[in-house]
Amino acid sequence: MNHSRLLLLAAALAALGACQPKTAATAGDVSPPVATVDGTPISRDFYEFYIKGISGKTSAELAPEQRSLALDNLIRARLVAEEAAKEGLDKSTDTAALLELSRLNVLQQAVSDRYLKDRKASEQELRAEYETQLGSQPKQEYHARHILVATEPFAEKIVTRLGKGEKFDELARRESMDPSKSNGGDLGWFTPDRMVPEFSGAVMALKPGEYTHKPVQTQFGWHVIQLLDTRELTPPPFEQVRQRLEQIVQNKKFHGYADELMRSAKIQRFLDKAPSGQAAAPSGQAAPAGTPAAPAPSPTPRKN
């Protein structure tokens, strides 16, 4: 068992434990304690749940020093959580929000497990989802390279130099500001959905061997792109993606169940309604002063 995993889960317990009642770790848990902390028990069932979560084993399957380390981490987590509660940290805005999100996630998973227990994906559902996924997948892959520069005039000079016979890969190594410059601008094989729309649209308009005579602008800068080759994309066989298809089908079933709950609930939305005495913020309004800017993206034109 990896000690770092124990420490990470202990840190999580310290964050979440601040909202636990002092009398028991979980409601209805009457198992004997493995320890007490200032009179508050850490039950055997809670300890075994913790062990199972970090190791996939029972405590009986662990070495004595591993069992002892796990218990030390639980005790430490309980003490830190109690200290946080004494200082009122569990009531602070950010901490309370994190605790509530954790609670919602745990309960949603519990409901999902219960709802889907007797609703396993049938073979017919899996086959139908397989066909749906195939229909939405790209049919072709592209192999391209590019030269990325900061301005349109410089990109136009690159096009001119290519027209005079300079080699694309050598120009990429000298002039491109993209990490692919070390490979002569080669981006390897990719499907159009992996790239930003302006870039993929330009690639699909080319024939193998051609390059863009008009520079292509994206959020990363100005590109001169050369298409090297194309090939048909072979979809994976059904059995290879069966497990992923099961996840997709199950997710759709539970999403439908959640949608039914929303339809039957009385819901009022106030997202765009301004507080009393304030004007509503128009759509697209600039961020207020002091709002941190988004981090600069990598110049490689791939989608996140």
Dump pLDDT digits (tens) for 177-188. Answer: 999 999 999 999
Beta strands (DSSP E) in the chain are 33-37, 40-43, 140-149, 186-190, 216-218, 221-232
Q: What angle is formed at CA 108 by the lines to CA 103 and CA 111, rounded to 5 degrees?
A: 125
State the pLDDT at residue 279.
60
Per the structure block, which two tokens stand in for 54? 């970090």
Residue 16 has pLDDT above 80, yes or no: no
Give the predicted TM-score (pTM) of the model. 0.62
Q: What percent of the chain has pLDDT over 90?
A: 73
Per the structure block, which two tokens stand in for 292? 């941190």
For domain 138-232, give the CATH number: 3.10.50.40
State the pLDDT at residue 104.
95
Residue 21: count other Cβ atoms within 10 Å of its Cβ: 9
State the pLDDT at residue 22.
40
Confidence label for 30 from pLDDT (cuts 50, 70 and 90): confident
Domain residue spans of the chain: 3-97, 123-130+238-264, 138-232
